[in-house]
Amino acid sequence: MTVLFVGLACVGARMFLLGPHDVPSKAPVVFSTVFVLFSMFAVASQVRFQRSLITEFRYDGSTIQFQTLRLQEAQMRPVSDIAAIRDWRGKGGPLGYRLQFQDKQKLYLEFSVSNSVALANRLRADLGL
């Protein structure tokens, strides 16, 4: 997705920079500017989401240590910081779990991650959620 939106931004920039500048209408310039801004927003959204998608985790009863898709170094959070564990659903149905922390940070745990269902069930039981 990120590569697609970067490509769209390049197309919009090309239209903006190489487009006909002698045209009395400003519509092509406005369109290509909006196109580039939308593409930049989409790329930023994808990068931000990749920082919240858990790929590996360890749970010892008091802390959860995890790695995300974008940040490969291990991060650690106390379990007491978890405010809610909810189902994460997409257009095609359930995708996994969304962990929301007290500071409003959200992490996403896909069903495809090993033992994700067991972790969610244990966290819910330990926290009484």
What's the pTM value of the predicted model, to 2 decimals? 0.70
Strand partners of residue 87: 97
Instruction: Tell me the pLDDT tens digit for each residue of 69-123.
Output: 887 788 899 988 999 999 998 888 899 999 999 999 899 999 888 888 998 888 8
Range list for CATH 2.30.29.30 in the chain: 54-127
Pick the CATH number of 54-127 from 1.10.3720.10, 3.60.150.10, 1.10.600.10, 2.30.29.30: 2.30.29.30
Beta strands 106-110 and 53-59, pairing class: parallel
Instruction: Tell me the pLDDT tens digit for each residue of 27-79.
Output: 766 777 777 788 888 888 888 888 888 889 998 888 899 998 887 788 899 98
pLDDT of residue 19: 60
Alpha helix stretches (DSSP H) within the chain = 2-18, 27-50, 116-127
